[in-house]
Amino acid sequence: MSPEPQYDAAVIGAGFGGMGAAIQLKRLGLDNLVILEREDDLGGTWHVNRYPGLAVDIPSSTYSYSFEPNPNWSRMYAPGAELKNYAERVADKYDLLRHMRFNTVVEGARWDEDNQFWIVNIADSESISAKYLLTATGFLSQPRMPDIPGIETFAGKVIHTTKWDDSYDLGGKKAAVIGTGATAVQLIPAIAPRLAELTVYQRTAIWVTPKQDVAIPRRVQKLYARVPLTQRIVRLIGSGILELLMISAVLHYRQAKFLNRAAEKAARKHMARQISDPELRRNLTPDYDFGCKRPTFSNDYYPTFVRKNVSLETTPISHIEPDGIVTEDGRKTVIDTLVLATGFNLWDVNFPAIEVIGRDDRNLGKWWRENRFQAYEGVAVPYFPNFLTLASPYSYSGLSYFTTIESQMKHMKRLFGEVGRRNASTFEVSAVANAEFLDRMTEHLKDSVFALGSCSTARSYYFNQHGEAAILRPTSTINAFREAGRFPLDAYTYA
Ligand code: NAP
């Protein structure tokens, strides 16, 4: 008789994704679970990112679990610290902390065919075994360090935005920020006033639209607490607007190009209102279609470039010297602080974030690279029994990470329910169901801005090494939820 695994389930990652999965497992009666987390606390992105200006850029009423509304958000777009507190409260309420093991770096996991369970290898510790394996390692969790020649020779302070050093005083410093993604858009206005000089190195401009942010008055918070339906209505309206923008302007570009153009126009007008210098405007204007790359919202990003102590540098960087950055035209800017807002590496190291070896020695990362990135309904892969991969190709609902998590929780409910009804020990998605899903997503993508728009200059992390924009699920959020609750049960085999 084969030995029993130590745990019903091992969840990798204690961010909102892993917490959602754990909540669902507990609801399904799988209480003997362990949550393995490489950081020293829970919260994922919202624990790791602590840079000045950090906030959500999806309205908080939408960017939270629908089953755990928080009436106390201080603003429509809550600051990052509130998200971290929210994660702690949810973990407390659902009694998740006792399952969490921090500072635990998972090196890999292997399906043990003889014993029909997963062996999870942990750095500097004993391996563990679990019947089910769920990876919730996030999409933006492997920081990208730019490979700029000479960067290692820089003698001043270097800070990546995911490793913010609160003890470092920016006052009076001459700093450079490399990168102009959503992180830089939040960071730059927050640090510029404190610095003596700031040079922003932009390789690719970003589309920025106005942010309709307001503080939420105490009386509204009280109303949300007393009548939760009111906050639900706000969530519904906010989500509807986002869905319209995301789905129609980006995914249904063929049918609704005018919406895409309207968003682009709104961003151009926003810039024109805030910057009068035509050359600066030209330099900050993207040369790719809206939505090819993740756009963002901000009211103080453009005005920051009008400040006397801030300059925008668009000449490519040649190399870095101990005391400054040299651009390709030979100009050197002397700095003492180098801030890397250079984002994350998704496609080389994050899919999957750990080595996962399934049945017949199939290596997930290798298989994805050789056979296109794919996962049935964004959660399951053939040859990987009892495994759900939650940060997967075609899983991300463009609306909000929380709608992604909750549709995955719904999928888990239906799947594990069937496993229970059949008294089965294993489940595995069929190759046919997986292939059909991939074909369907590929077909949907043909209508999107990624296929029909002008994206070649966007350098968008949505695209992988095969040239496919394989992160976002190219369907509506409603479709994702419907399928999560109704997918054909024979998409899986049970044994
Ligand atoms: P990002 O969007 O990938 O931006 C990284 C920036 O660094 C880009 O401008 C990139 O230029 C630049 N860069 C990278 N390597 C470089 C190099 N070697 N030389 C010059 N420039 C280089 O990363 P991010 O800004 O951290 O944002 C990532 C995602 O996090 C966002 O898209 C968003 O989904 C999420 N986010 C969310 C929030 C929120 O509030 N919810 C806030 C911040 C971030 P290229 O574009 O030319 O590659």
Identical fold between 7-42+96-142+346-494 and 154-212+239-340: yes
Whether 144 shows a pLDDT value over 60: the answer reads: yes
Superfamily holding 7-42+96-142+346-494: FAD/NAD(P)-binding domain (3.50.50.60)
Task: Give the residue-averaged pLDDT of 88-113.
Answer: 98
pLDDT (0 to 100) of residue 38: 97
> Average model confidence (pLDDT) for the chain?
96
Whether 247 shows a pLDDT value over 90: the answer reads: no
Note the pLDDT tens digit of each residue in 294-330. 999 999 999 999 999 999 999 999 999 999 999 999 9
Q: What global pTM score does this model have?
A: 0.95
Provide the percentage of residues in the chain whose pLDDT is more than 90.
Answer: 95
Mutate to test the pocket of ligand 1, among 342, 396, 404, 472 (most ligand atoms within 8 A of CB): 342
Mutate to test the pocket of ligand 1, among 183, 312, 350, 462 (most ligand atoms within 8 A of CB): 183
**226 in contact with ligand 1, CB cutoff 6 A:** no
**173 in contact with ligand 1, CB cutoff 6 A:** no
Who's near 66: CB < 8 A, 6+ residues apart?
Answer: 232, 235, 402, 406
Whether 1 shows a pLDDT value over 80: the answer reads: no
Instruction: Find the range with the poorest average confidence among 163-167, 227-231, 240-244.
Output: 240-244
Question: What residue segments make up the domains of the chain, in order of their start?
Answer: 7-42+96-142+346-494, 154-212+239-340
**148 in contact with ligand 1, CB cutoff 6 A:** yes
For residue 343, how far is its CA from the centre of ligand 1 (angstroms)?
4
Whether 378 shows a pLDDT value over 90: the answer reads: yes
Provide the CB-side half-sphere exposure for 403 (13 A, CA). Answer: 27
User: What atom of ligand 1 comes closest to residue 182's alpha carbon?
Assistant: 25
Q: Which tokens in the block code for residue 492?
A: 């899986």
Q: Give the chain's end-to-end CA distance (angstroms, integer).
A: 16
User: What atom of ligand 1 comes closest to residue 58's alpha carbon?
Assistant: 41
d(CA 362, CA 111): 10
pLDDT (0 to 100) of residue 244: 82
Classify domain 154-212+239-340 by CATH number: 3.50.50.60
Q: Which tokens in the block code for residue 320?
A: 């870095």
Note the pLDDT tens digit of each residue in 423-482. 999 999 999 999 999 999 999 999 999 999 999 999 999 999 999 999 999 999 999 999
Beta strand 174-178 with 337-340: parallel, antiparallel or unpaired? parallel
Contact 7, 78 (CB under 8 A): no
**343 in contact with ligand 1, CB cutoff 6 A:** yes
Contact 85, 16 (CB under 8 A): no
Q: How confident is the model at residue 2 (pLDDT cuts 50, 70, 90)?
A: low
pLDDT (0 to 100) of residue 35: 98
Q: How confident is the model at residue 489 (pLDDT cuts 50, 70, 90)?
A: very high
Note the pLDDT tens digit of each residue in 396-414. 987 789 999 999 999 999 9
Note the pLDDT tens digit of each residue in 315-369. 999 999 999 999 999 999 999 999 999 999 999 988 999 999 999 999 999 999 9
For residue 14, how far is its CA from the centre of ligand 1 (angstroms)?
23
pLDDT (0 to 100) of residue 246: 74
